[in-house]
Each structure stands twice: as structure tokens, then as C-alpha cells.
Structure 1
């Protein structure tokens, strides 16, 4: 009995320690930090930041951000809240159409992974399936600043996510 349980436990531990296959675009990606975002005390999503080797965030290096939703949201909600945050943190961008392609309804437990590819591209995966690539000059900084920037809605959340 014990001979069958130990290999299963070792396999499970190795799977949990291995970054998502969709993080393969970032060589040596490791989790840097995690945090739960709350709105009026209600948990909205859990976020995880992945950087090369778990190093501090460097805006000049590719990184990934995963959101695991703790509530259901429509694609409309996701697009609207993103557009509002982009406007709040530096002015509107002409990316609504791209966001409408990227985002779909999410249910509790769904995971969106955003992987940067230089300063102008972010690839999105929902539950491991590629949904789109968002392209615009400077979009990496502008979009990811919603969660990781100095002007995020919650500096406590941002510090934890950045592993500080």
C-alpha cells in the first residue's frame, strides 16, 4: 500500500512545484509573489506574479501574471473594468476591441494568465487555452500597472504580489 502512495505523492509534489506549461515562454519562471485582491472586503481574485528565477519585477524583462477568479464575471465586466483602470492610471487606450476578443465570461476558479512579450505585447490564456494577444505600443507597462504599478488600487496588494 505504502509503495503505491509514495510515488503518487512525489508526482503530485513535482506537478505542484512545476510552473504552468504556458509559462514556457519565460525561461526559468518562478513565482515571485501572490496576493488576494478584495473589493469592499470581498475576495475578487488571487494573483500570482512569475518572473525569471523569482527575481524582483523588472519592467524590461518578460514576466507573467495569473489571476484565479474567486467570483463569476462577464466578459463585459472584465472589459469595462480594464478600460476604467487604464483610463484612471494614465488615459484611455484604443484597445477595447482587442480586449473584447481576449476576455470571455469567467466562473469561480477560472484562471487567466497574461504573459508579456516585450513592451508591446501580452498573450492571454484562459484555463491554459490561448485566447488572444494584446498588441499596442507600451501595453505591457500600461496593462500590468493596473496590478503591479505605483498607482494600483491597492498598494498593499501590489507589494505582496511583487514579493516586497
Structure 2
């Protein structure tokens, strides 16, 4: 046994006490990370409500996740958090322009190009944007856990979030799944 200690210590039986301490430490770190996430900071009692993948011409563009207070059914009268995790690279200009075009298409356009231009950055595959509403007139944005900005404008929550959650989205089935229906 002494020979193994010197030449091949990885062959020794595992020390379960060390593994238990390591697992406990990992669990505490993960729990702390979740408690401090932008979703839980920005939305009280945030719980997952629904998920959906948005596709364009059959190609997946992003995965969307909706959080509501206590996972309650989606309601415009409650604050919400919407996370988009991108499956492809998209330039900043394309994000800004497509958002404004969609807001205009669904009849919810507002003059916020300058604010969107400050909020949005180019994304690469795997990046996540999170939008969290704070009342009807404020939406804060995070990119990969770092806050990029807070947009304020009368009715901005409904104007922006309607692109994904409104009655006239590009995909009714996407919206239903995202809303958890």
C-alpha cells in the first residue's frame, strides 16, 4: 500500500470525507450564484413559466425562457423576465434593426433606437440576453449576466415584450409555448 501512495496515489480508495466537503462547497457556490442571478435580483419570486425555440426558415435562432413571479400564468400586469440564448452569431445592427422592425410590424413601435443601440451588443452562439421589466415603463437588460442598460419609455415593457409574447408575433406556437400554455 505504501508503494501505491508514492507511485500511483490515484489508485487509492477515495476519501469520502473530502468528496463530501467538496460537494457541499460546490452546492453552496451554485446556490449562491442562482440567488444572485439577474433573474432573481430583478424579479421577485422568479420561476420558470415556459420555454420555446424561435426558428426562421426552419433554422433555430434562439431559445427563449420566460420567468414570472412564482411561475404564475403570464400577465401584462405582472413583471416578467425573458431570456434569449442565441444559437448563432448576430451583429448589433441586426439585433437593433430587427427589434425595431418587429415592434413596428406588430403596431408597438416607439422611438427608442438610441436606447436599443446603447443596450444591445453583438452576440455569438451561446450568449444570453435577459430582459426584466420593472413596471410598465422600464426594462433592464443583461448580456451574459452583466447589466448593459435600463430602457425607460412609457409602455416600453409591452412594446418590447410583445415581439415575443404579444398577440401578433411571428409564431403563435412559439408564443404559446413560451407563455407555458
Query: When the two structures are superposed, what TM-score results if normalisation uses the length of structure 2?
Result: 0.83
Give the aligned length: 164
The reply on whether 1:49 has 2:75 as its aligned counterpart is no
Aligned-residue offset at 1:60 = 1.0
Question: Which residue does 2:43 correspond to in 1?
Answer: 26
Distance 1:5 1:116, change over 3 A: same
Question: Which residue does 1:160 correspond to in 2?
Answer: 177
Could you say which structure has the larger radius of gyration?
A: 2
Question: Which residue does 1:11 correspond to in 2?
Answer: 27
Question: Which residue does 1:63 correspond to in 2?
Answer: 80
Conserved? CA contact 2:52–2:63, under 8 Å? yes
Distance across 1 between alignment mates of 2:143 and 2:168? 26
Conserved? CA contact 1:32–1:51, under 8 Å? yes
Is the partner of 2:121 in helix, strand or coil?
Answer: coil
> RMSD of the TM alignment (CA)?
2.2
Question: Which residue does 1:82 correspond to in 2?
Answer: 99
Distance across 2 between alignment mates of 1:159 and 1:6? 43
Question: Which residue does 2:113 correspond to in 1?
Answer: 96
Query: When the two structures are superposed, what TM-score results if normalisation uses the length of structure 1?
Result: 0.91
Aligned-residue offset at 1:105 = 0.5
- Segments of structure 1 that go 5 or more residues without pairing to the other structure are none
Question: Which residue does 1:135 correspond to in 2?
Answer: 152
Is the partner of 1:33 in helix, strand or coil?
Answer: strand
Structure 1 segment 109-120 matched on structure 2, within 5 A? 109-120=126-137
Distance across 2 between alignment mates of 1:139 and 1:22? 19
Distance across 1 between alignment mates of 2:178 and 2:103? 19
Conserved? CA contact 1:19–1:30, under 8 Å? no
- Segments of structure 2 that go 5 or more residues without pairing to the other structure are 1-13
